[in-house]
Chains A and B, each alone.
Chain A
């Protein structure tokens, strides 16, 4: 990261290759759309590059980067149009199979719709907990809040999902 801050693009490339998987995972599960998730991941890495020269290794890199990804996802969600389950992108999807795979199975579609129904912060807490495997302290650091607030967000998020998935007879 320090090398990337000095303009070393090969160091930056190493960072991208190492962390693109989980960044993509988090963005995709939060936004539910491949194109938007890729936009967020790209923006997150470029912001990381911009901030590289100011970066100080006082905290875990993953926590630091999680914070960037989280902020971008929540901002994107706020600005976004309503998501439709049968969303067809205007431009050609570079990974056409991705939406196909995603659409398979009623459970997957119901889960996606249930997550989309949650408020942004609850959704982010659930995504970071279940899809990223973060603990309360790590989620709190990524969302710039307290572990107690994360506990409340997860409790409400789970209750919301329980109600929606229960109504769809998924649970």
Chain B
């Protein structure tokens, strides 16, 4: 009885001839002595014939037609999915991505060349900060209408604030 649990696990493999010879001998010895396990084996054997009592009906009559119709539609909608180049297989999607990346790289290089050519060495599109700070605020901001303001006036203060403090003053 205590071996039943152990041998029951082997019954399925025994039915399919998957047990080693040594294990078969041990199981058959147990089956000879154990009615419960013999019954379990008979029940397992009966599963097969019971299953075959449920048979599938024939396939639907137009299933093949429907499959082929879908296949044809798919083929019509598909763009060519592969090209062969020098015997190297390049899937269509990878080829398109590669072409796009190459085009982007070329455009980037060309744009960089044009930008570099326009400004040249030493020229920048944006003036340096120090040049901006050194610009005369009066000229830059057209503040000459304060030119006749007396010294120490508000206009002087404003202009002083605008300009960068320099060594030795203005």
**Chain A residues within CB distance 8 Å of chain B:** 7, 9, 12-13, 16-17, 20-21, 24-25, 28-29, 34, 37-38, 41-42, 45-46, 49, 53, 94-95, 97-98, 101-102, 105, 107-108, 111-112, 115, 126, 130-131, 136, 151, 154-155, 158-159, 161-162, 165-166, 170-171
Tally of chain B residues near chain A (CB < 8 A): 38
The answer to whether B57 and A98 touch across the interface, beta carbons within 8 angstroms, is yes
With a cutoff of 8 Å between Cβ atoms, the chain A residues found around residue B95 in the complex are none
**B contact patch SS:** helix
The answer to whether A28 and B57 touch across the interface, beta carbons within 8 angstroms, is yes
Q: Say whether B47 faces chain A, with CB atoms less than 8 Å apart.
A: yes
The answer to whether A165 and B63 touch across the interface, beta carbons within 8 angstroms, is no
Cα distance, A161 to B46, chains bound together (Å): 10
B83 to chain A, nearest CB (A): 12
With a cutoff of 8 Å between Cβ atoms, the chain A residues found around residue B66 in the complex are 38, 42
The answer to whether B51 and A20 touch across the interface, beta carbons within 8 angstroms, is no
With a cutoff of 8 Å between Cβ atoms, the chain B residues found around residue A108 in the complex are 53-55
Most buried by B among A126, A136, A171: A171
B1 to chain A, nearest CB (A): 19
The answer to whether A170 and B57 touch across the interface, beta carbons within 8 angstroms, is no
Q: List 5 A-B contacts (CB under 8 A).
A: A38-B60, A53-B81, A155-B11, A158-B47, A166-B43
The answer to whether A154 and B43 touch across the interface, beta carbons within 8 angstroms, is no
The answer to whether A46 and B53 touch across the interface, beta carbons within 8 angstroms, is no
Given contacts A24-B59, A46-B74, contact A155 B47 (CB under 8 A): no
B61 to chain A, nearest CB (A): 7
Cα distance, A69 to B96, chains bound together (Å): 32
The answer to whether B47 and A161 touch across the interface, beta carbons within 8 angstroms, is yes
Cα distance, A49 to B69, chains bound together (Å): 13
With a cutoff of 8 Å between Cβ atoms, the chain B residues found around residue A29 in the complex are 54, 56
With a cutoff of 8 Å between Cβ atoms, the chain B residues found around residue A20 in the complex are 59, 63-64, 67
With a cutoff of 8 Å between Cβ atoms, the chain A residues found around residue B56 in the complex are 24-25, 28-29, 37, 131
